[in-house]
Amino acid sequence: MTSIIERTFSIVDKKPLFIPFIAAGDPSLKATVSIAKALQESGADMIELGVPYSDPLADGPTIQKASLRALKNGITLDDILETSVHMRMAGVTIPIILFTYYNPVLQYGIRRLFERFESSGIDGIIIPDLPIEENEEVKTWADHTGKPLISLIAPNSSERIERIASQADGFIYCVSSLGVTGERKKLHPQIHSFLQEVKQHARVPVAVGFGISSPEQVAELAPHSDGIIVGSAIVRIIEKNEETLLDPETRHLALAEIKTFVKHLYSGVL
């Protein structure tokens, strides 16, 4: 059965799809719901909903700080799943993908988590620190529930690209550069050939993320990818507007700034 994530790539009449990342609970869970709705209104085709974690190995300073802000609020995985419900109630209809490290999944319970996905409106999951060699139990439950485990491939994965691509579901998340997340002025010099190699082996769409923050980068990657993932650049705007977002009376001002940024980011391809 084809997942809603894969179907979205086939039915949306634009390329590449826009897939923003936000940290759940930054700066509050109510603000997260409003931000998700604003991103959808700005043209987001899916949303990565990040689970705050105290030791985020792949995250750069901007997202690390976002996680810490959320953790100070005592955010739990149950809170985030409930927030996804509120996102649906607020009118968010695009796929929601949970982005989490493996430890919270293990602590929560793999079966329990996947069984909660249906009632909470989660459509898939990304676990960046779970290698393909150790993902059998998670992959089994992902297949059983139809909520894809989305695979990551990095530029230094050349010997494993075919193997990872052969079992990928939803889409393949191509990491645009080595290291952690964060805005970068320049893309990896071999990014085009890397994406081309992944596409040769892929049976699902290919999206690219990590460090994408400018209209020029989006325009450069658009012909080579099915989706563009943007995280730190959006999270930085959220950080800048923390107090504005926390106040329901002023929240609309920060949401307008986020919408303006997204429109600017995609100005070269829309």
Give the catalytic positions in this structure: 48, 59
CA separation for the pair 141, 192 (Å, rounded):
33
With the CA atoms of 111, 96, 202 and 174 taken in that order, what torsion angle do they form, in degrees rounded to the nearest 10?
Answer: -100
Q: Treating both helix axes as pointing N-terminal to C-terminal, what angle do 110-120 and 77-89 enclose, rounded to 10 degrees? A: 20
Evaluated on CA atoms 115, 120, 124, 125, the torsion sign reads negative
Instruction: Take residue 33 and report the two structure tokens written for it.
Output: 């719901």
CA separation for the pair 48, 213 (Å, rounded):
16
Instruction: Take residue 49 and report the two structure tokens written for it.
Output: 């909903």
Which residue type is seen at 233? A
Chain centre to alpha carbon of residue 206? 13
